[in-house]
A = this chain, B = another copy of it.
Amino acid sequence: MIRKFRYGKPFPTDAVVKNVGQTSGMPPFFTVTEQDGGVEYRYTMEKEDCVFGLGEQMRGINKRGWHYDGYAYDDPHLTETRTSLYGAHNFIVVFGARTFGVFVDCGKRVSFDIGYTDPDELIITFADADVYFITGESVLAIVKTFRELIGQSYIPPKWAFGFGQSKWGYRCEEDIREVFRGYEEAELPLDMIYLDIDYMEEYCDFTVNRERFPDLKGLAEEFKEKGVRLIPIVDAAVKVKEGYHVYDEGVEKGYFCTDSEGKPYVVGVWPGDSVLPDVLNPEARLWFGSYYEEFLKQGIEGFWNDMNEPAIFYGQGSIDRAFQVVASKAGVNLDHETFNEVQAAFGSLANNPDDYAAMHHKAEGELISHSEVHNLYGDFLTRGAAEYFAERDPDRRYLLFSRSSYIGMHRYGGIWTGDNASWWSHLALNVKMMPSLDMCGFLFAGADLGGHAEDTTEDLMLRWLAFGIFTPLMRNHATCTARDQECYRFKDLGAFRHILSLRYRLLPYLYSEFVKCAQKGEMLFKPLCFEYPEDARARTVEDQLFWGESVMLAPVVEANAAGRYVYLPARMKLLRFTRHGVRERVMEKGEYYIDVPLDEVVVFLREGKVLPLAQPAKNVASLDDRHLTFLKFIVQTTEYTVCRDDGVTKSSLQNFETIKVQP
């Protein structure tokens, strides 16, 4: 059951697709305090209560013991200190003495204090929001009700479930060719090569540097014939440059965010002075989306949208002040305090709330400060592209994913989880984040495998891939200063070949489970206690997940580990994927330590279930998903339903085949 409570004047976020009537009175369980336009929800938790959700966030599956902000924020230092990442996903489920869900639908910052100020208090603070209070029989039932409320998750084309290689630093056509050759010569599968900002001319959106990429169309077509697609990045900010068509047109049409007087609001991003498309204006965002055509007509079918929190290096006013602060201290004996001031002058410019407050959108004819709608920016920018695609070819699926997001965007595209680092703790974070994202509808998601910033190592890369083969978006991506981490650069290529091959062998299952979960509003990745709510031990397991209907995952996320502990909440069959075949072992419910060598993948098959496997393939196009073999843990004939769509149209997504599997 869903109850809706309105506070203040919420800006329409389009997060929900169902019409829910407003409830008067108070929500159950919470103490609600309204003061100066702000609202505080307070709930006293029992000792054993867990709190799940918040989508893209730091810390555990159970969010208890820290405070979090629903606030899209570009800062790549993903430490335990952080309170928000690149998206704002304000949905939680409290599980324990009472079990219920809360969605705070609000484009502004929302704060969740989940046992931080007081270990036993859950305090949600916000203003101008619709709050949806959801009850149901179980956590899974509540999630399903919420997912119905927010509408069906985006389903990309099938080839997007292949493996992609990316790096900020592929500067020219030859760099791209080298990556292709590297994978081909090492006999490693590959479906996509990503283009980061290097391909652009002066960091201008929808331009291509013709010296470094003389024939992008030719390259894209040549590679597509070989089964590899090029996926260019699109940034939010548009360079201020007269004669640059996107800038000129946007200015002429009044499609950029402005200051309070209606003049384009200039901020510093990659190209220096830039303006931001006013994506809250439906015409403006469709106009921005229509520029993707410049790539579509070159045979490109997939995109990643970046810097759309929106990321701002500096605002015009704030950088002037920074120069003044520094100039005022020249020649002064700088002690601790004054030196800090000088250091902070340029160190604290990025994503400054003052810049957000000064920037304005035109919403239904009225100027509205960006602060009021901040979290919607990445969502609406990505939606602009999706709306253009739908207009261009209503039945076709394109690959589209974004760094920033808000609930609602899950209907238009996927996300990657932003600029992580080559840290073991970020592999663990990747594992913990997947079910939280699924709760919020972001099924097509994945982390930068191997880590974006900093230098990776071969063992970290292998362990990360051994989890990444299960995430719908599977991309190896690194920043320009990081050590090269394309899979072919490592020593034990056999191990990489084995693990990447397994992705393709599992792809019919992954794809079928993904499509079914999207259509039914279910989770692809589930914490153990979502399925075993009565099992107290399952509640504290933070590094194992159910994956689709048949499999439980238990990835190794620690350096120099020879294996790991696993808790089986029920009888299961261990499946050990070695280079030489699959080894199986039935295990009873209980606690185990299992060996997991670097070049093996261990998963658990649930009782009564089967797991379809294809033959290895070098890309999705050459994958034979008609001839599947099945790993089984069954005693009677069992059915498995495979998605039999054409891989690219929306209409064909209704085609399923149910296969009978004998014990």
Comparing A34-42, A379-387, A558-566, the segment that makes contact with chain B is: A558-566
A136 at interface, CB cutoff 8 A: no
A187 at interface, CB cutoff 8 A: no
A119 at interface, CB cutoff 8 A: yes
A32 at interface, CB cutoff 8 A: no
**Is there contact, CB below 8 Å, between B59 and A454?**
no
Q: In the assembled complex, how far is the CB of residue A564 from the closest CB belonging to chain B, in whole angstroms?
A: 9
A319 at interface, CB cutoff 8 A: yes
Q: In the assembled complex, how far is the CB of residue A433 from the closest CB belonging to chain B, in whole angstroms?
A: 15
Q: What are the residues of chain B within 8 A of A425 when measuring CB–CB?
A: 80, 425
**Is there contact, CB below 8 Å, between A272 and B339?**
yes
Which among A50, A81, A269 has the greatest number of chain B C-beta atoms within 10 A? A81
**Is there contact, CB below 8 Å, between B335 and A118?**
no
Measured in the bound complex, the distance between the Cα atoms of B443 and A48 in whole Å is 39
**Is there contact, CB below 8 Å, between A540 and B563?**
yes
Q: What are the residues of chain B within 8 A of A342 when measuring CB–CB?
A: 346
Task: Digitize A37-75: 1 where CB-to-B-CB distance is under 8 Å, 0 elsewhere.
Answer: 000000000000010000000011010111000000000
Q: In the assembled complex, how far is the CB of residue A336 from the closest CB belonging to chain B, in whole angstroms?
A: 5
**Is there contact, CB below 8 Å, between B81 and A421?**
yes
Measured in the bound complex, the distance between the Cα atoms of B293 and A599 in whole Å is 61
Given contacts A116-B457, A119-B457, A323-B326, contact A79 B423 (CB under 8 A): yes
Task: Digitize A531-552: 1 where CB-to-B-CB distance is under 8 Å, 0 elsewhere.
Answer: 0000011011010000000000
**Is there contact, CB below 8 Å, between A537 and B270?**
no
Measured in the bound complex, the distance between the Cα atoms of B186 and A84 in whole Å is 35
A459 at interface, CB cutoff 8 A: yes
Q: What are the residues of chain B within 8 A of A558 when measuring CB–CB?
A: 542
A203 at interface, CB cutoff 8 A: yes
**Is there contact, CB below 8 Å, between A59 and B343?**
no
**Is there contact, CB below 8 Å, between B336 and A319?**
no
Q: What are the residues of chain B within 8 A of A173 when measuring CB–CB?
A: none
A656 at interface, CB cutoff 8 A: no
Given contacts A347-B343, A347-B347, A458-B119, contact A79 B79 (CB under 8 A): yes
Q: What are the residues of chain B within 8 A of A612 when measuring CB–CB?
A: none
Q: In the assembled complex, how far is the CB of residue A494 from the closest CB belonging to chain B, in whole angstroms?
A: 14
Closest to A421 in B: B81
Q: What are the residues of chain B within 8 A of A559 when measuring CB–CB?
A: 59-60, 62, 64-66
Q: In the assembled complex, how far is the CB of residue A436 from the closest CB belonging to chain B, in whole angstroms?
A: 14
A287 at interface, CB cutoff 8 A: no
**Is there contact, CB below 8 Å, between A270 and B326?**
no
Given contacts A323-B330, A560-B62, contact A491 B118 (CB under 8 A): yes
Q: What are the residues of chain B within 8 A of A80 when measuring CB–CB?
A: 421-425, 454
**Is there contact, CB below 8 Å, between A338 and B272?**
yes
Q: What are the residues of chain B within 8 A of A624 when measuring CB–CB?
A: none
Q: A369-426: which have CB < 8 Å to B? A: 421-425
Measured in the bound complex, the distance between the Cα atoms of B115 and A560 in whole Å is 11
Select A65's contact among B268, B459, B492, B591, beta carbons within 8 Å: B459
Q: In the assembled complex, how far is the CB of residue A62 from the closest CB belonging to chain B, in whole angstroms?
A: 5
Measured in the bound complex, the distance between the Cα atoms of B116 and A409 in whole Å is 40
Measured in the bound complex, the distance between the Cα atoms of B335 and A271 in whole Å is 5
Measured in the bound complex, the distance between the Cα atoms of B342 and A327 in whole Å is 13
Measured in the bound complex, the distance between the Cα atoms of B322 and A347 in whole Å is 14
**Is there contact, CB below 8 Å, between B591 and A334?**
no
A313 at interface, CB cutoff 8 A: yes
**Is there contact, CB below 8 Å, between B457 and A339?**
no
Select A591's contact among B118, B273, B346, B592, beta carbons within 8 Å: B592
**Is there contact, CB below 8 Å, between A66 and B457?**
yes
Given contacts A80-B421, A119-B458, A270-B336, contact A567 B593 (CB under 8 A): yes
Q: What are the residues of chain B within 8 A of A206 when measuring CB–CB?
A: none
Given contacts A80-B421, A421-B80, A457-B65, contact A203 B335 (CB under 8 A): yes
Closest to A333 in B: B272
Closest to A120 in B: B491
Q: In the assembled complex, how far is the CB of residue A595 from the closest CB belonging to chain B, in whole angstroms?
A: 9
**Is there contact, CB below 8 Å, between A119 and B491?**
yes
A86 at interface, CB cutoff 8 A: no
**Is there contact, CB below 8 Å, between A270 and B540?**
no
Q: In the assembled complex, how far is the CB of residue A121 from the closest CB belonging to chain B, in whole angstroms?
A: 10
Task: Digitize A420-442: 1 where CB-to-B-CB distance is under 8 Å, 0 elsewhere.
Answer: 01111100000000000000000
Measured in the bound complex, the distance between the Cα atoms of B560 and A115 in whole Å is 11
A314 at interface, CB cutoff 8 A: yes
Given contacts A268-B334, A314-B334, A334-B272, contact A60 B560 (CB under 8 A): yes
Q: In the assembled complex, how far is the CB of residue A539 from the closest CB belonging to chain B, in whole angstroms?
A: 8
Given contacts A65-B459, A79-B423, A119-B491, contact A333 B592 (CB under 8 A): no
List 28 A-B residue pairs with CB atoms under 8 Å apart, sorted by A's residue number.
Answer: A50-B560, A59-B559, A62-B560, A65-B560, A66-B559, A77-B77, A79-B79, A80-B424, A80-B454, A116-B457, A119-B459, A203-B336, A269-B336, A270-B336, A272-B333, A272-B338, A313-B336, A313-B339, A314-B334, A323-B326, A345-B346, A347-B347, A536-B562, A537-B562, A540-B562, A542-B560, A565-B565, A591-B593
**Besides A79-B79, A313-B334, A565-B593, 17 new A-B residue pairs in contact (Cβ under 8 A), listed by A number:** A65-B460, A65-B559, A77-B77, A116-B457, A119-B458, A119-B492, A120-B491, A203-B335, A272-B333, A272-B334, A273-B333, A319-B334, A326-B346, A346-B347, A536-B562, A565-B591, A591-B592
